[in-house]
Structure 1
Amino acid sequence: MSCQREKRLKKRPTNEAPVAGVRPLEARVVVQQCSRAKVKTRDGVDGAEPQYAEIGEGLVVFVCFFDGATEDTAHRIANAVMNTQFFHGCLSRSRRPTSVLELPGGVLLLPLQSQVSGQARRGSQLFSSLASHCREMLSKSRATGGAVEQGVYGQRQQVKIEPMSHVLEF
């Protein structure tokens, strides 16, 4: 085997971007359309019913912040989420894409474990900022009846999303 070929075979692929100046990842967001969703925000204690944050038709948004995330990151995420176009109504004949800001749809924000150098407080602040930005945008929109609800940062999320979700990994 030639030396050149041996060098090529020994060189392992990396996850580094081949383009100079690419900024690091600040957050990861997964958006899912739903007919309704809810998350437990407080366990039932001493016979009391557990409390839930819930929405009807709208979007469920899973959010994870990384090192380097700032208030600006939260604002950009809010803008992207609230303006995401989707088809309204699973059974609707309308096939015009629309955003949560254009109809009475809700948003359920769910925090995932953030990777902000182990600083739970900073991740919680960013998540609260995201929720505030989303609420502000919804309050300024022409749509009424929608709400922004959220899970509890740092708490195990017990979520129910309808109709259903499937994740396949290969």
Structure 2
Amino acid sequence: MRALVQRVRQAKVTVAGRVTGEIGEGLMILVCAMAGDTDAKAAQLAQKIAKLRIFRDADDKMNRSILDTGGAALVVSQFTLAADTSRGNRPGFSTAAPPEEGERLYMRFSDDLRALGIQVENGEFGADMDVALVNQGPVTIWLDV
């Protein structure tokens, strides 16, 4: 699985004028299930992100995780993270999981984060979404598991 994680002050997803997910301080997580990914990969990614020490401590060092801060996560499916641009200018997405499997693993990942005690909000799988966020830092981390 692949994710782009951003530390945010706030984030919101809107679909057709309706807010589907909104958080204050925490993590904006764009996630993509890749072909061949498993439930174990979703769980591994959730564990990695939950323990990722990218929040400031009392000494202003990135030494705290979302578990430490009690922040929330806004999880949005993002198949374009699988983009392959090695053959020209039009990206290919053949390395992304098929849509049914991608949605299942996206929801599994979200449920795995919830099981760790993190408040999770979601976008809407397969929808045309408007995503707004205030990146704090900025801190943006790419993860592959």
1:84 to 28, 48, 52: 52
1:71 to 22, 39, 54: 39
- State the percentage of identical aligned residues: 26
2:26 to 54, 58, 74: 58
Instruction: Work out whether 1:135 is the aligned partner of 2:114.
Output: yes
2-structure distance, mates of 1:76, 1:107: 16
1:156 is aligned to 128
Deviation at 1:53, TM superposition (A): 0.6
1:43 is aligned to 16
Query: TM-score w.r.t. structure 1 length?
Result: 0.65
Deviation at 1:67, TM superposition (A): 0.9
1:104 to 56, 63, 70: 70
> Unaligned regions of 5+ residues in structure 1, if any?
1-26, 45-49, 139-145
Deviation at 1:104, TM superposition (A): 2.0
Query: TM-score w.r.t. structure 2 length?
Result: 0.75
2:93 is aligned to none
Task: Describe the SS at the equivalent of 1:59.
Answer: strand
Please say which of residues 93-102 and 124-133 is displaced more in the overlay.
Answer: 93-102
Instruction: Give the number of equivalent residue pairs.
Output: 124
2-structure distance, mates of 1:134, 1:30: 15
Deviation at 1:121, TM superposition (A): 0.9
1-structure distance, mates of 2:59, 2:10: 19
> Unaligned regions of 5+ residues in structure 2, if any?
83-95, 141-145
Q: Which has the larger radius of gyration?
A: 1
Task: State the one-letter code of the partner of 1:125.
Answer: R
Deviation at 1:55, TM superposition (A): 0.7
Q: Which has the higher strand share?
A: 2
Deviations 1:45-69 (A, max 9, x none): xxxxx22311111111111111110
1-structure distance, mates of 2:27, 2:108: 18
RMSD of equivalent CA atoms: 2.4
Q: Which has the higher contact order (CA 8 A, sep 6+)?
A: 2
Task: State the one-letter code of the partner of 2:31.
Answer: V
2-structure distance, mates of 1:87, 1:29: 18
